Amino acid sequence: MAENTQAALDAQADVVIVGAGFGGLECAMGLGRAGVDTLVIDRRNHNLFQPLLYQVATAALSPADIAEPIRKTLGRYQSVRVMLAEVTDIQDSAVVLSDGRRVGFGKLVIATGSDYTYFGHDDWREHAPGLKSLREARKIRQRLLMAFEAAETTRDPAKRKALLTTAIVGGGPTGVEMAGAVAELGRFMIRRDFRALEVRDMRVLLIEAGPRILAGFPANLSDYAAGRLRRAGVEIMLDAPVEAIAPGELVVSDAPIAVGCIIWAAGIKPSPAAGWLGLEQAAKGRIPVDDGLAVIGRPDIYAMGDTASMPTPLPGLAQVAKQQGRWLGARLVAEISGQPPAETFRFRNRGNTAMIGRNAAVFDFGTWQLTGPLAWFLWAFVHVALLVNFEKKLLVAVQWTARYVTRQRGARLIEEDNPTVPRID
């Protein structure tokens, strides 16, 4: 492999950060405050608050409410530059971009996150989009709303019921939150806006291959969530692996189910970043790092968030990535300034939570748990606090307050570019 030289590089920086998610942004801001020469590379021009994507998909929020241009967030830091590009490889002390450009680094931070896994059935993605991007959230919203529009005009009772059936695959926090939100949205729209539809014709299926939903929470919180979802009209299918997905249909435990919309929330996989380092088989696709987030065997490269595998496994939560990003930024500042850096990252668990529906949520703090309206309010407070700036915090808080009072959904827009009617054979 040819050795990189400065002349062969298209750009370089003392610190290059790949990925501007929770961890990447926190790290960049810490470096920016210290005046460290930093380059942030991301294939999107915006930071996305993924935990609230399901609210975009169910018309509770608009895309701009949970997304912020990266340049706007980091523009105040004169030492931080932003590059819109996709990284495809790492060669010696340079990252290689998809167009062949090379960017040299003194220190590299990999914060590329994760994606959904379809367990070897990548062709299912087209029919069952997940919730990892604005494009996917808008596609789900489009299909949900178009299914109701189509059901309003059909004269076939069987087809109407199929169009009003929404299947969510995966009973983790995203699936649970999505199921509750779809049930609430459907009841609201049928009672207020769709004269030819009946609430009794609507079905929301939450399909989980394991023995219970919210498997990462204590059993009592799982039971509480299941009870509240069933009261909201959600049908929970346990020990029910999905065997096939096609347009307008999925097969669960050998039984075909006709549906108007399918949403995928089952399992995640790391980004392909491990392959850039020749570590595809390591830690199930994650990059092995030490307690200081340094990649094993590459002390000039760091990894964090969902793409990293620490000696002590950590949950794939926003708070983990944010804490790692803040800590790593401080460590890099110390290293570059010649100060002794902290060598061990310690995660401080602020609790794990999932929202089930109006006035209902679960919160697990480890030694104690919380359910009901107080957990719901705390869920809302935490998610507002995690948003990237004051403008977004205020905007979302005001909209949630208005929605709580009026029960209205203000973002029920069907885009004109592809208003496809769901296919039900």
Q: How far apart are CA 277 and CA 392, in angstroms?
A: 37
In the residue annotation, 177 being an active-site residue is answered as: yes
Backbone phi and psi for residue 336, each to the nearest 5 degrees, phi listed first: -70, -30
Using CA atoms, how far residue 66 sits from 35, 181, 251, 377, in Å, is 28, 17, 34, 19
Phi, psi of 88 (to 5 degrees): -125, -10
Query: In terms of C-beta distances under 8 Å and separation of at least 24 residues, what long-range contacts does 202-205 make, across chains too?
Result: 202/164, 202/165, 202/233, 203/161, 203/164, 203/165, 203/166, 203/235, 204/165, 204/166, 204/168, 204/179, 204/233, 204/234, 204/235, 205/165, 205/166, 205/167, 205/168, 205/234, 205/235, 205/237, 205/257, 205/259
**Which listed residue (26, 68, 136, 177) is catalytic?**
177
Backbone angles phi, psi at 169, to 5 degrees: -95, 115
Instruction: Give, as one character, the DSSP assignment of residue 349.
Output: -
296/48 Cα distance (integer angstroms): 29
In three-state secondary structure terms, 3 is coil
Which residues contact residue 174 at a Cβ distance below 8 angstroms, ignoring those fewer than 6 apart? 54, 131, 265
Residue 15's nearest CA partner among 77, 84, 81 is 81
Task: Please give the Cα distance from 250 to 254 (Å, whole number).
Answer: 10
**Which residues are designated catalytic?**
177
